[in-house]
Amino acid sequence: MTIRTSTAPGGPVVTADRVTFRYADPEQRLAGVRLSQEVRIPGDRLEFSRDAAGWTLTLPRPRVWRMEYRLQLRHPDGGREEICDPANPLRAPGAFGDKSVLELPDYRRPSWLVQPTVPGAETEISVPSRYLRAEVQVRLWAPADAGPTERLPLLVAHDGPEYAALSGLTTYSAAMIRSERLPRHRVALLAPGDRDEWYSASVSYARALALAVVPTIRRRVVVEGPVVGVGASLGGLAMLHAQRRHPGLFGGLFLQSGSFFDRKLSAHERGFARYGRITRFVADTRRGTLAAEPVPATLTCGELEENLDNNRDMATTLHDQGYRVGFVELPDVHNYVAWRDAFHPHLTALLAEVWGR
C-alpha cells in the first residue's frame, strides 16, 4: 500500500518499507541530483537516477519518525546548489536555514502546539561580565500578568532565542501553564554569544553564569524554588559544566544531545577548537574529580546521532554519582524539532518533580 504524508501531499512517496524522492527536470537541464540528509543513509545510495520526467531516488524506509533533508543540484557547467524540495511544502526551521521534512506515518506532532496558551511577555536584560569581558543578553519570558515580585520558578535555557524560535520553548511553557500541567514560571532565554568559546566547558563562562547572570535575574524578579537549566548540544554540555563547578546553581538539568566529547568515541570531533577542554571535563566528570551535587536530570538524544554513546555513558555516570537520571532515546537526529518533541512528557515530568505541581 502507498502512503503519502498528509502534511506534504506533493512530497516523497512512502510505502511500508520504502520511500521515493522525485525531482522534476523534463528539459534535462541538470547533470545530477543528490540527497542531503543526516539519518545515516550510506553515501553511495544518495544519487538520484534520471528518468523521462526528471530524477528519482528510492531508498529503504529510514528508521526515524521524521526526516529533514535537502536536494543537491549539479549543473552541467560544474556549478552546485542545495535547495529544499520544491514538491514538498513541509519545512523545518534550523540554525542554518530551512530544510524539507518527510513525516513518516508513525510520527505525531506534540499536542501542545495547538493547545490554548497563556499570554506571555518578554523583558530584555543585558548582563555585563568581567569574566567574559562581554555582555550576556537575556530575554526573560513570563506570563503577561506576572509582576516582578510574584514568586515564580525559573527555567534557564542556553541558546534561548533559538530554542524559543525553532523549538517553541516559550509556547510550550505557555501551554503547560494554561493546562495546569506545570505551575506558572519564567523562562530566561540566554543568547549564545561566542558560542563555541562560552559553551565548551569554559570556566569563565560558568563563573559568569553563576556569579553574574543568574544573580542579576534574581535581582530583577523573585525566584521561587530550584532553578532548572536546559541546553542542547554544546549548550547541554555547558549546563552540566556550570552545575558541576557551582553547587547550588541548578536544582535540575534537562540536557539534549549533549556534546560530551570523549577521546575514544568522538575522534571525528578533533577539529573542534576546544576539543581538548571538553574531553578533559568529560573525563574529570566520569572520574568524579569535580565534586558532584546530585540533582534530578533528564538526558535526551536521537537514536541515529553520532554522540548517542556519549550521552548513554554520561547518563550512566551521573546515575552512578547519585543523580536521579532519566534517559530518553528518540527516533530522530540532532535538530531543534527533535528537541522540541521531547519537551512533553519528559521536560514536563522533570519540572514537575523539581518544582512540584
Residues in the chain: 357
126 and 85 part of one domain: no
Give the model's confidence band at 97: pLDDT under 50 very low, under 70 low, under 90 confident, else very high. Answer: confident
Per-residue pLDDT tens over the stretch 274-285? 999 999 999 999
Euclidean distance between CA atoms 187 and 192, whole angstroms = 15
Euclidean distance between CA atoms 199 and 206, whole angstroms = 9
Give the model's confidence band at 268: pLDDT under 50 very low, under 70 low, under 90 confident, else very high. Answer: confident
Query: For residue 289, what pLDDT is reported?
Result: 82
Residues of the chain above pLDDT 90, percent: 86
Domain that holds residue 346: 111-355
Give the pTM.
Answer: 0.90
Q: What is the mean pLDDT of residues 57-81?
A: 95
Strand partners, 47: 34
Residue 175 is part of a domain; what is its CATH number? Answer: 3.40.50.1820
For residue 219, pLDDT over 50 is answered with: yes
135 and 11 part of one domain: no
126 and 97 part of one domain: no
Euclidean distance between CA atoms 225 and 354, whole angstroms = 8
156 and 34 part of one domain: no
For residue 44, pLDDT over 50 is answered with: yes
Mention every residue, 6+ apart, whose C-beta is less than 8 A from residue 264: none
Q: Which residue has the cell 536521537?
A: 302
Domain boundary among 82, 103, 124: 103
Domain boundary among 70, 87, 103: 103
98 and 171 part of one domain: no
Euclidean distance between CA atoms 312 and 302, whole angstroms = 11
Q: What is the mean pLDDT of residues 254-270?
A: 86
Mean pLDDT of the chain: 93
Give the model's confidence band at 6: pLDDT under 50 very low, under 70 low, under 90 confident, else very high. Answer: very low
92 and 189 part of one domain: no
Q: Which has the closest alpha carbon to 255: 347, 170, 337?
A: 347
Give the model's confidence band at 10: pLDDT under 50 very low, under 70 low, under 90 confident, else very high. Answer: low
Residue 52 is part of a domain; what is its CATH number? Answer: 2.60.40.10
121 and 231 part of one domain: yes
129 and 74 part of one domain: no
Q: Which of 17-31, 113-127, 236-250, 268-282 has the lowest mean pLDDT?
A: 268-282
**Bigger pLDDT: 357 vs 28:** 28
Q: How many domains does the chain fold into?
A: 2
99 and 118 part of one domain: no
Domain boundary among 66, 83, 103: 103
124 and 252 part of one domain: yes
Whether the bond between 345 and the residue before it is cis, its omega within 30 degrees of 0, is yes
115 and 89 part of one domain: no
Give the model's confidence band at 266: pLDDT under 50 very low, under 70 low, under 90 confident, else very high. Answer: confident
136 and 88 part of one domain: no
